[in-house]
Structure 1
């Protein structure tokens, strides 16, 4: 069977995803979502001319007489006449009649008399003009933009208490395998702890979603059919294990019996070749390999983009950095490779152990070096795509 190139597989997967319905949500609950519509400012920021420094609001070159003060939230009442000045604090409204700010350090003051000590300010100096950040009616955030902490602050400053976002997806994570034990502290020599479900749930936890973990489920048709009956209302089903070609890899047949239509299977990547995508009515299904590193890499490349697409992201696929490799990298074969690597002062350093079951080195990796299929070797110092995957840097 011909392996599907990565970009084709990702494109086909995203074609299966329809963004979820939109709803208005309070700003305090929007972190991690994506905007479902353009956001226009309801007010200008700043709404009036403000001082950028502590000092005096003045007009012209002086000298002046101090006639009052303007503080943030308590503006000077009235306009300045020629030769008058107002003591002003950072963020305070600049009174009418003033055209510059004489900063405190440049001022000479005796009682109410004020003159310039040094560094005479030019007209407009140290004034933040009304609307300098944005004006009422401006589009401040585009549809599909990530709702970050800065975006939440911007939305509030623009006069919004709610944002239009998609509802939270329901995600089911189903682990299968006779060898899996649900209790890491009680595992026979013929079992392994069921770690993939925990890992995948943690990988998704920074996105707003409801996660249901199912399993581990035994490798037989009856057990898998019973497990699938539990996920009828899910928007995304992620399976781990049972996606390859062995006699006991029954996830594919179980999904077909459940009514899911397989859209593609097997992708030209390393690790992670036996990846499958399917759909049943409104549920998108992604079948991941069982080896932990393969499961992690394919979740990064497929599950996270599918989740972002469900939430309405304008750019759901991960974007790499360009970093120097610290060692020579050999030519690649017919599959695109994702190499676990650490960050150093000199760039990205591949880890020695790249086996798809090696979790220890996955925890030591800061990211993945991407090597295209059928690519010539490169020398140390060459720039290579690098995807950060640890410490929350998984966008």
Structure 2
């Protein structure tokens, strides 16, 4: 399958998970499943837009008190009276304007000045009236979004449930800690998959390390609790690669089964009859990173409710070896410079900002799609 088609299938095949109602404070990073409307006018009350004097009727005005932010005043101001007032303070009844300090003169308890066309009063609902839209569905609840929602008097929001991710790290040679012995390698997938999942709106559910055993793999797939099961290794057709056989036997629907790219060719995407998704990552760490960015990240973003978006592009410079009939995926810096021209691995990706997807007809300096390095 063409790389572009595989990425698009992962992005477009899944629907957002169901919504759940959460307090705004607990919804950070989630995606709104419904629009948020104002429940309390913004501003919630008439308040001073400047420090100065709130005046009633024609001047000069006699100062009768002071109102600071947070204070509640009673009664109605009589014409000819004034109160010193702070920005944001509740404007008493009867006030017609706020005279900024710089626009008035104070002598003893009397204020004189001219009320101009600007009254320097923010009226209740000037920014948002009750029922007005605050934030549309599909927006990620960032700190700014949450602040706007709270300001509008909304306490709970409907957000999509984040997809739970189960990771199965396979391979007799893989160890989780310590110094690898002869023929052993450290697990590099747990951190990468966790980071990619978090960036896409997913949450880790469980993680298991499995030897190359068919029965253990079968049991782990059956017991996995996540919405998405990520399997590192066991992605090819060798004697120790059991994943494809087991998924086919379970009646999985294959959406992607091999991609015309280097590295990362043996990546795959399937959906089980019960609706759980399976993402197969090649056991080579750099190829696994490519596959995670190609299939896992767009799939999780879709399940989390994030709007589909095209990949960014950037002119790329350098002379990498291209892949006839497919794409070569190479690490580049933020200015589009190739990090390494020869064989690459995680060390090259660690020095890069993006992985650039170079088609077989790409020429140096031409733009290319970018995958952001986690």
Identify whether the pair has TM-score above 0.5, normalized to the shorter chain.
yes
- Alignment of 1:182 onto 2:176: yes
Q: CA deviation at 1:261?
A: 2.3
Mapping 1:56-205, distance limit 5 Å: 56-58=53-55, 62-116=59-113, 122-124=116-118, 126-183=120-177, 185-205=178-198
Structure 2 unaligned blocks of 5 or more: none
- Residues 12 and 302 of structure 2 are in contact (CA less than 8 Å); yes or no, is this contact kept in structure 1? no
Distance 1:169 1:85, change over 3 A: same
Question: Is the 2:326–2:360 contact (alpha carbons within 8 Å) kept by the matching residues of 1?
Answer: yes
Q: CA 1:270 to 1:85, structure 2 compared with 1: closer, same or farther past 3 Å?
A: farther
* Residue of structure 2 in register with 1:393 after alignment: none
Distance (Å, rounded) in 1 between the aligned partners of 2:23 and 2:132 = 21
Pick one of 243, 252, 255 that aligns with 1:260: 252
Preserved CA contact (<8 Å) 1:173 1:239: yes
- Comparing 301-310 with 29-38, greater Cα deviation is found at 301-310
**Residues 353/376 of structure 1: CA separation in 2 closer, same or farther (3 Å cut):** closer
Structure 1 residues 11-62: Cα deviation after superposition (integer angstroms, max 9, x where no partner): 3334542332322122222112111212211111112232233222246885
Q: Distance in 2 between matches of 1:60 and 1:338?
A: 73
SS of corresponding position for 1:200 = helix
Q: Secondary structure at the match of 2:333?
A: strand
Q: Give the distance between the partners of 1:18 and 1:197, measured in 2 at CA.
A: 26
In 2: Cα distance, 1:248 partner to 1:266 partner: 18
Verify the 8 A CA contact 1:293 1:359 in the aligned structure 2. yes
Q: In 2 relative to 1, CA 301–64 (structure 1 residues): closer, same or farther, beyond 3 Å?
A: farther
Q: CA offsets, 1:161-216, max 9 Å, x none?
A: 22112334331111222321233x1311211111112321233245352421111x
Match of 2:207 in 1: 213
Shift of 1:279: 0.7
Question: Which of 191-200 and 9-18 deviates more?
Answer: 9-18
Task: State the SS of the aligned residue for 1:349.
Answer: coil
Match of 1:365 in 2: 352
Equivalent residues of 1:237, 1:283 under 8 A apart: yes
Instruction: Please tell me the root mean square deviation across aligned C-alpha atoms, in Å.
Output: 3.0
Partners of 1:297 and 1:132 in 2: CA distance:
50
- Identify if the C-alpha distance between structure 1 residues 278 and 387 changes in structure 2 by more than 3 Å, giving closer, same or farther: closer
How far the C-alpha of 1:159 sits from its partner, in A, is 2.0
Equivalent residue of 2:7, what SS? helix
Counterparts of 1:384 and 1:56 in 2: how far apart (Å)?
60
- CA shift, 1:156, in A, is 1.8
**Post-superposition shift, 1:338?**
4.1
After superposing the two structures, state which structure 1 stretch, 362-371 or 301-310, moved more. Answer: 362-371
Q: Hey, what does 1:351 align to over in structure 2?
A: 339
2:291 to 278, 281, 298: 298
C-alpha separation in 2, matches of 1:211 and 1:26: 22
Aligned residues: 371
Preserved CA contact (<8 Å) 1:46 1:128: yes
Partner SS, residue 337 of structure 2: strand
Partners of 2:175 and 2:250 in 1: CA distance: 25
Cα drift, residue 109 of structure 1: 1.8
**Given the superposition, is the C-alpha separation of residues 12 and 385 from structure 1 closer, same or farther in structure 2, using an over 3 Å criterion?**
closer
Aligned-partner Cα distance in 1 for 2:89–2:342: 59
Cα deviation digits, residues 235-267 of structure 1 (max 9, x gap): 111111222344543321122233322222122
Farther off after superposition, 24-33 or 333-342: 333-342
Provide closer, same or farther for how the CA distance between residues 182 and 353 of structure 1 changes in structure 2, counting only shifts above 3 A: farther
Check 1:362–1:84 CA distance in 2 against 1; reply closer, same or farther (3 A cut).
same
Deviation per residue, 1:108-134 (Å, 9 max, x gap): 322222234xxx774235433332332
> Residue 352 and residue 39 in structure 1: after superposition, are their counterparts in 2 closer, same or farther (change >3 A)?
same
Structure 1 SS opposite 2:265: coil
Q: Which has the higher contact order (CA 8 A, sep 6+)?
A: 2
